[in-house]
Structure 1
């Protein structure tokens, strides 16, 4: 694995690329996104440490999306030849990769439902719940608080809002005591209430450690 530090707001791979390696996110946050013909960006997922956001490139020759850094990231690049060798020698690793892609698909389905059918505070609450649960699963949450270096503009691109609307939604959530934001630090004062507002059920994340969803 070749480890590289990449600055924030940089593309790791781009739609149309034919990569010969995949990237393992060691630290930091990235996002998967697509660009419309009019130049608008739609973020379709956020990635946290431990994710391999372009794992599909192991079997799909041409990427149909881009992956970009949100914060400064440490990324480990693994060649597809090495990944194939691992899969051939260790069936349990192959099974883990297959499970990873299925969970990614489940998350995409939930995001389509969230953006298509929920509104305002509920839509934002759902994404915040997801991020908190996933970060807790990898040990990056303490007392329902975590570092979250995602800008309002990036939330807007993920949720189908304008940046102004994201600001209003966050202000409303603060006023209602659903969240506390100090810089990049997110704290959830009432986890059960936030889950209720976001209609959040972590089943689609398929966590093996039930405590991570608590």
Structure 2
């Protein structure tokens, strides 16, 4: 069921009607592509012609400087759209790449617009989802500018855990965490040695353990406190997750 995770997330914002869920699932299952790790769904400068839904695996939004340095601007997990209105651009000003082997569904703009016209509750829930991604972007900026290294990594771990838990991909405090030290460093503005030390320091707190591609939350309240985590930026998703 290609649309399962997106439907779960949208229902947290606004309960959908059965016909809206069915239409969304039919569209999500229509055109599913696979991608190996380390490849782009779409690259900067290309003409975006589709809206892309992450069905399985992890992806990221990123930019590359002329000297090869990379800044990761967002992580996408199953149920995320990358991005909702991107098809209105003439050329991409960023790239969307796979962090793990990936499956994604491609929506044609006309199909997506028809879905919104025929199912207003789906459209309104998608607006919520778009606002959520903007909220996450603002919170990431706060981390890069103001939080310490441990606070920033703790905040990222807490956010991703809650996003995964909300769509049913975290159980008993455990979820996948396939980010490399390079991925984390490029998202949080740290060198790889700094990331390695920060993971060690964060694990030593006892509230969370990051190792071997997994994240285990031992004390969610303690993690929130350590990260200076205010869940209001996740809006309805936080209440749905807990």
Q: Same fold (TM over 0.5)?
A: yes
Match of 1:156 in 2: 185
- Scaled by the length of structure 2, the TM-score of the pair is 0.83
Give the counterpart of 2:213 among 159, 171, 184: 184
Q: CA deviation at 1:208?
A: 4.9
Contact 1:34 1:65 in 2 (8 A): yes
- Scaled by the length of structure 1, the TM-score of the pair is 0.94
Match of 1:61 in 2: 90
Matched residue pairs, number?
Answer: 213
Unaligned runs of 5+ in 2: 1-29
Give the counterpart of 2:72 among 43, 46, 52: 43
Contact 2:163 2:237 in 1 (8 A): no
What are the residue-to-residue correspondences of 1:41-120 with 2, within 5 Å? 41-120=70-149
Pick which of 78-87 and 148-157 moved more: 78-87
Q: CA deviation at 1:211?
A: 4.3
Q: CA deviation at 1:79?
A: 1.1
Q: CA deviation at 1:209?
A: 6.3
CA 1:67–1:36: 2 relative to 1, 3 Å: same
Asked whether 1:24 is paired with 2:53, we answer yes
State the alpha-carbon separation in 1 of the partners of residues 81 and 209 from structure 2: 30
Pick which of 43-52 and 176-185 moved more: 176-185
Q: CA deviation at 1:82?
A: 1.1
Contact 1:54 1:67 in 2 (8 A): no
Could you report, residue by residue, the CA deviation over 1:97-152 in whole angstroms, capped at 9, with x for unpaired residues? 22221111111111111111111101110000000010000001112111111111
Asked whether 1:10 is paired with 2:39, we answer yes
Q: What is the aligned-residue RMSD (CA, Å)?
A: 1.5
Q: CA deviation at 1:181?
A: 3.1
